[in-house]
Amino acid sequence: MKFPHRLASIGAVAAVAALALTACGGGAESPTADTGELGEVGGEIQYAWWGGPARNDKTQAVIDLYEEATPGATVKGTTSEFAAYFENASVQAAGGSLPCVPQMQNRLMADYADRGALLPLDDLVEDGTIDVSNIPESVLDSARAADGNLYMIPYGAAFGSLLVNVTDVEELGLPLPPEGYDWEWLDEWLSDITEKTGTPATGIVGNQQDVLEAWLRSHGADFYEDGAVGFTEDDVAEFWDYAAGLQERGVSISAERASETTGLPLEQNDFSQGKQATVFWPANGLGTAQATIDQAAPGHELQAFPLPSGSAGNGSAFWLSGLAISAKCDNVATAADFIDFFVNDPDAALVYASDNGANTQTENLKALMDDSATSEAKKSELALYETLADAGVAPTVYGKGYATLFQQAVTRYYQQVSFGELTVEEAAKQFTAEAEGAIG
């Protein structure tokens, strides 16, 4: 489970991207793949991804399987950690030297797709070169850009959740979150936990872009709409009022404690240490949290639950990792064939083991859930993804400026609210104006 909670160091990535990709041109017309002239599969392609040693080993295992199954084709892999990966990709995109197959993430993809650095893949899908028949439509559509084109094939899905220490909650005699629970129910439930334990029931809420996104979507708004801002300052103020209310009543941690813990890895979070009953965190952190608490406070079972619902339904969104093709790739046939293999081959799925989000290919997802090598925590994550995918979570299309605006500015403005430097209304007004200026 490697999907980053807050996209560590992404602010630096965004700054580099904003400068370097300017060279690609704004609003560039997207190139198209002439699928009738792809040629034969074979020769060499470069594939670049981000990750640590464990993911690198799994990725190389997939490459080995592909080369064994495809005589004459060679995949040269390059890897780096997340922030460095996107710094390199920004410079490469500006210079027209992206690897043929760059790994992408839908929340950052616009910084590349909107400037013509990636190849639209719709023709390759339509002619069957890349098979997406086992990827849910809402998941696939979350890999599109504002122009409607598909720029990456998603293989791994992360999504927000409420992680809960089930053992602690049941010992308090309280229920677990029911299906379809809403924000009002959550407020009362967290308050009950706090009252019974005398300690905050959850971490900071208002500074998390994940939770703001869930609030907006569950109330009929979104970060982006048709390439523009999809929310109003009143939408943001209502969320921050909710979050501030939790903090003022001691239901969530204090501003001082939040400033000490924001940015810490999940292993060091109070929840993983058995000191806090719940935390908002992407579901792919469940295994890490369970392994940590097994050492820090043995005997506690943790579970991941969907995000709260509102008047517009559940607020979940899919944060996808996937494979793209550079607009400058000179071996599209092999690049597309490799992507098709990575996404659809059952052996590749098993060796990769959903290392970067839940496997989006439904047949391979079921195989992983049935595999004895898959941990119970990972199976819980995969089952929750399956539930959300079956429910048809509405697609989300991310535009430019996501990293700087939502990862950084949300935290910055709510921190000022927490310490009394700005009122909720002032912060919401300034944040929304900044969003409108950045997004257009």
At 316-355, the pLDDT tens digits run 999 999 999 999 999 999 999 999 999 999 999 999 999 9
50 bridge partner residues: 80
- CB neighbours of residue 49 within 10 Å: 20
Question: N- to C-terminal Cα distance for the chain?
Answer: 35
What pLDDT, on a 0 to 100 scale, did the predictor assign at position 114? Answer: 87
What pLDDT, on a 0 to 100 scale, did the predictor assign at position 29? Answer: 45
What pLDDT, on a 0 to 100 scale, did the predictor assign at position 77? Answer: 96
Q: Are 255 and 206 in contact (CB under 8 A)?
A: no
What pLDDT, on a 0 to 100 scale, did the predictor assign at position 401? Answer: 86
What pLDDT, on a 0 to 100 scale, did the predictor assign at position 35? Answer: 42
What pLDDT, on a 0 to 100 scale, did the predictor assign at position 38? Answer: 82
What pLDDT, on a 0 to 100 scale, did the predictor assign at position 13? Answer: 42
What pLDDT, on a 0 to 100 scale, did the predictor assign at position 400? Answer: 85
What pLDDT, on a 0 to 100 scale, did the predictor assign at position 7? Answer: 32
What pLDDT, on a 0 to 100 scale, did the predictor assign at position 71? Answer: 96
Sites in the chain below the pLDDT cut of 70 = 1-37
- CB neighbours of residue 187 within 10 Å: 16
What pLDDT, on a 0 to 100 scale, did the predictor assign at position 18? Answer: 41
The amino acid present at 227, given as its one-letter code, is G
What pLDDT, on a 0 to 100 scale, did the predictor assign at position 12? Answer: 39
SS (H, E, C) the chain: CCCCCCCCCHHHHHHHHHHHHHHHCCCCCCCCCCHHHCCCCCEEEEEEEECCHHHHHHHHHHHHHHHHHCCCEEEEEEEECHHHHHHHHHHHHHCCCCCCEEEEECCCCHHHHCCCCECCCHHHHHCCCCCCCCCCHHHHHCCECCCCCECCEEEEEECEEEEEEHHHHHHCCCCCCCCCCEHHHHHHHHHHHHHHHCCCCECCCCCCHHHHHHHHHHCCCCCEECCEECCCHHHHHHHHHHHHHHHHCCCECCHHHHHHHCCCCHHHCCCCCCCCCEEEEEHHHHHHHHHHHHHHCCCCCEEEECCCEECCEECCCCEEEEECCECCCCCHHHHHHHHHHHHHCHHHHHHHCCECEEECCHHHHHHHHHCCCCCHHHHHHHHHHHHHHHCCCCCCCCCCCHHHHHHHHHHHHHHHHHCCCCCHHHHHHHHHHHHHHHHC
